[in-house]
Amino acid sequence: MRNYTLSAKIVLVQLVCILSATQTLYSQNAVMYGMTQNGGADSVGAIIAYNLTTGTESVVYSFGRDSDGQIPSGSLVYCPLNGLLYGLTAGGGKYGNGAVISFNPANNTEAVAWNLGHASNGPASPYGDLVYDANNHLFYAMTFGGGDNAIGCVFSFNPAIDSIKQLWNFGYNGGANLPYGNLVLNPNNGLYYGMTSQGGNNNDGAIITLNPLTDTVHRVYNFNDGQSGETPNGSLVWSSTTNLFYGMTSAGGADSLGTLFSFNPADSVETTLHNFGFGTDAAGPLANLIYNENTGLFYGLSINGGEGNGQGTIFSFNPANDSVTVLHSFGNVTNDGEFPNGSLIYDAADNLYYGLTQGGGTNHTGTIFSFNPSNNAETTLWSLGSGTDGAGPQGSLLLLNNGFPAAINNLKHSYNINLYPNPGNGNFLLQSQNATGATYNVYNINGELISAGTIQSDLQNINLIHAADGMYIMKIDGKEGTVPVRFAVIK
């Protein structure tokens, strides 16, 4: 049996306490986090949490004090480097033009990571989401305001040092401008694709690309009202099955109520697949589609259309025959949500979708709802807006389980990762399945990279004997996604 020195024993006790506290904090309860534009203690927005096990919602942070961010429009995004959630606010901050904020779900603390609009032509007033790049560990985003022409720009944010870099200004020579959505990676060519609501040759919006290696932006498609729709407010979605992007416009098309289209990045050809708005069809979608590999269908939300008073829908899209089917019409039963403005998220653990509505519910200020694709049943889980509760959400939810996004937990099971002994003295064995060829990066608690390599076999030695005593995170990146593993070094 190994004899530890007194100091090592003290370190071991401390680490055991940390690990125990972490396990208690990140219980098996899955929690969904979201942001609301209104409500909260200061009525300028809140971060809300909904516990799927207990069925209860709570405000975990209220925006607006001093020079805090205000009026968040998008969604929270997980950062695998530090376990924090990041988001954008359209207002507030030191200069009143919005902020990049971080939120720690471990202790419900928020911080302004960067004040937008500090220069006359700097990024300002973002309405979409940050997007994390696992290769360079940066976030990318687009803004609705700011830039040299005051109609938006593209910027990167470095979470390691809380700094931004302005990459591109929209609007030159009739170029794309005023983006509402976020950028999406094409894994085939390494470029990010995004949409703007205006600009382009016809001023109906455009599709642009961002090259993260050169920080250059190019316009690759111009929307054209009746032919392909106009004013896209959401984001594109990549399909690895067809190697196409799919997206929606909020207006234009045959009935002037939006379109659903595909876009081929290989030749920049856009194809209108469905015109929204006829009869009780969905109308005016403002967000993104989400693909379900089990059913082969895309699911989406529209802010208008459907049966009754046209207060929005849940619909499916079948790429096999380009058909759209309305599955639920909002607002036709008591206390149902109305006017969904964000996107659905999917939880593989219960085979349910979850989302937010901007209106409806008991207080007419929005709801949290679930949707069951097996029977098309929609259920209001929580009515927002009571007292200092959050109200009027416009983004989407983020599901965490044990402190990590649910998708990462599912991938962790598919890789079947085990690192032992844990704690260890620096010589570790990494046991895995289906992870050969994946890369691993080891970071200390300060986010500094201390080791990197490639998984060569199902049982591999990881030499960290040079690492100091402490807590570490190994981030494994492979074809199925990213898996973080916490461990401790004790010598």
Output the pLDDT for position 482.
74
How far from 46 is each of 98, 219, 381, 387, 416, CA to CA, in Å?
15, 35, 18, 12, 37
Output the pLDDT for position 480.
67
pLDDT digits (tens, 9 = 90+) for 294-337: 788 999 999 999 999 999 999 999 999 999 999 999 999 999 99
Output the pLDDT for position 399.
94
Q: Which residues of the chain have pLDDT under 50?
A: 1-28, 409-413
Output the pLDDT for position 7.
38
CATH number of 126-407: 2.120.10.30
Cβ pair 91, 98 in contact under 8 A: yes
Residues 6 or more apart in contact with residue 35 via CB below 8 angstroms: 45, 46, 47, 48, 72, 74, 75, 76, 87, 390, 393, 395
Output the pLDDT for position 414.
60
Cβ pair 197, 182 in contact under 8 A: no
Q: Where are the domains of the chain?
A: 126-407, 409-489
Output the pLDDT for position 83.
87
pTM recorded for the entire structure: 0.81
Residue 408 host element (H or E): helix 406-415
CATH architecture of 409-489: Sandwich (2.60)
How many helices (H) and strands (E) are present in the chain, helices listed first? Answer: 3, 45
How far from 476 is each of 302, 360, 369, 431, 443, CA to CA, in Å?
36, 42, 33, 12, 11
Output the pLDDT for position 407.
60
Instruction: Tell me the C-alpha distance between 262 and 222, whole Å.
Output: 14
Instruction: Tell me the C-alpha distance between 127 and 382, whole Å.
Output: 25
Residues 6 or more apart in contact with residue 293 via CB below 8 angstroms: none
Nearest to 124 by CA among 166, 184, 171: 166
Output the pLDDT for position 147.
93
DSSP states along 299-329 = EEEESEESSTT-B-EEEEEETTTTEEEEEEE
Instruction: Tell me the C-alpha distance between 223 and 253, whole Å.
Output: 10
Instruction: Tell me the C-alpha distance between 50 and 331, whole Å.
Output: 22
* Residue 203, token pair as written in the block: 């001023």
C-alpha triplet 60, 63, 64: angle, nearest 5°: 150
How far from 410 is each of 103, 134, 416, CA to CA, in Å?
23, 18, 10
Positive/negative CA dihedral, 60, 65, 69, 72:
positive
